[in-house]
Every structure is written in C-alpha cells, then in structure tokens.
Amino acid sequence: MKKILKPLLVAAAFTSAPIAVSAQDWTPPGPITMMIGFAAGGGADTQARLISQGIEAKYGWKILPQQLDGNSGLSLAAELAKAPADGTAIGMVVSETLTYSSHAAGNDALMLDKFTPLATTASFELGLVSMANGAFDTWDKVTEAAGSGTQIRFGTASDRQADVAYLFGKAAGIDFNIVPVKGGAGVMNGLRGGDLDLGWVAGAQSKAVQDGEMVNIASGIATPLKDRPMRPSSPTWAAPS
C-alpha cells in the first residue's frame, strides 16, 4: 500500500457451491454486472470496459458495465456486498478501498475479507503534480511560497490521499489547504483551471507530464517515479502504514 495503487477486480465473497466447481466448467447463471468504481471516461473506467469486452469475447458471457463511483470506492463496495455471491456481480475498485478506506470509515462489512479478490489489473505510481513552468513547478517554490504565507491548495481524490497530504504537510511544516475532488481527472482539471496548485495523481498524469504540460514535483512512493521529467529538487516521501 505504500508503493502502488492497484485497480482490483473483486466479487462478493463466495460461500459454497461456486468453490466446488472447476473454473473451467463454471458458467454464470445470468448476465454479469461489472460495477466500475471510477469516473466515466478515465483510464481505469476504460480499462474496466475493455476487460468486460475481453471476458465477453473469450467466454461468451454477457457483461453489463455499471458506473458506481464516489466515496473512495465504498459506494461500490456497499452495493457489491449486497449482491448474490454467485459470480453475477463483480466490481473494480482501487486496492485502498477495501483496505485503507474501509478501515478509516470503521465499516467492518466493507473490508477485504468480506470479498473475493479476482485479479489485480494494473499498478499506478503516485506523484505530486503541478502545472509545468508555473508558480509551484518545483518543491523549492512550494516551500518558499508556504514560508511567505501563501495558502497552497492541494487536491486529493480519496480519503487516503487526503490523509497522506496532511501527513506530508505536517512532515514538511506546511499547512496545506486540502481540497477533495473527484478522481485524478478532477485534480488535473483543477490544476488546469487554476483552482488547485498541486495534487496527488496516480498515473493519469503520465501523458501530461511527458508532453511538458505538467510536472511531478514529488513522489508519493518510496522510490523515484518512472514518469519523467521530475524536477531536480523533487523529494521522495511515502506515508507511514
């Protein structure tokens, strides 16, 4: 959890019969609802829909994508928990939904052990992103502005990201104005529109960074980011467990 965010395919916990049946012989008793815990049109949403198409093509099963984002994925988890444990409902959420967010919410019914993990579909690196060639495009500029009393608006897309932003600011001696938004796309739109100064983004910034529109000014994981460029003064910092 320190190093990567993982989109995770999960199902309501199987109870009896499906476990006894070979996966090669199993067929769903009806159409499968694919709940998608990400904003429409984003990379994770596209990935979920491509997976749905791939399952249909390979097995001939009918997959019905259903958008169910919000509340750090817990809205999806709550619906999936109520679904029959027969394989007709699956969902894609980020791994922190069933680990960090469910614990933070104090909801035992939505924790990982109440679901059947099916597959990890990808992993994304967390970067602290700002607009390139702007007022906050290096960590030195951030600390200098904060030291002069400038309020820095920090976009976050989940409860975990907000908590990490708070801990990051505490460690750096900066009182960030933490602004919750909807998804990594919301952070990037806020940066483009001038409503945010910087924010956590987990992968969606890659093209913008490569195109020179945005820059990673810090790594939210324990190692340098693969996305380049990162400014020379960029720190690497990971939240404690």
pLDDT at 143 over 90: yes
Is 238's pLDDT higher than 60? no
Residue 72 in this model has a pLDDT that exceeds 90: no
Mean pLDDT of 216-229: 78
Query: d(Cα 147, Cα 132) in Å, to the nearest integer?
Result: 21
Residue 12 tokens read as 């309501």
What does pTM read for this prediction? 0.69
In a domain, 65, yes or no: yes
- Give the tens place of pLDDT for each residue, 77-124: 999 999 988 889 999 988 888 888 888 888 888 988 889 888 888 777
Rounded to whole angstroms, how far apart are CA atoms 196 and 188? Answer: 9
Residue 119 main-chain phi, psi, to 5 deg: -165, 145
> Are residue 95 and residue 14 in the same domain, yes or no?
yes
Q: Which of 59, 87, 120 is the last residue of a domain?
A: 120
Note whether residue 225 is domain-resident. no
230 pLDDT band, cuts 50/70/90, is: low
Q: Decide if 238 is inside a domain.
A: no
Same-domain pairing of 93 and 135: no
Whether 231 maps to a domain, the answer reads: no
The CATH number of whichever domain residue 183 belongs to comes to 3.40.190.10
Residue 212, in any domain of the structure: yes
Q: Which domain holds residue 215?
A: 127-219
Could you tell me if 13 and 65 lie in one domain?
Answer: yes
Same domain, 194 and 160: yes
pLDDT band, very low/low/confident/very high, at 71 (cuts 50, 70, 90) = confident
Q: What is the mean pLDDT of residues 126-149?
A: 94
The answer to whether residue 233 sits within a structural domain is no
Range of weakest confidence among 15-19, 67-71, 108-112? 15-19
Of the residues 120, 145, 171, the one at which a domain ends: 120
Q: Report the chain's terminal Cα–Cα distance, integer Å.
A: 8
Is 73 within 8 Å of 97 (Cβ atoms)?
A: yes
- 234 in a domain, yes or no? no
Alpha helices in 35-173 (DSSP H): 43-59, 74-82, 100-105, 139-147, 159-172
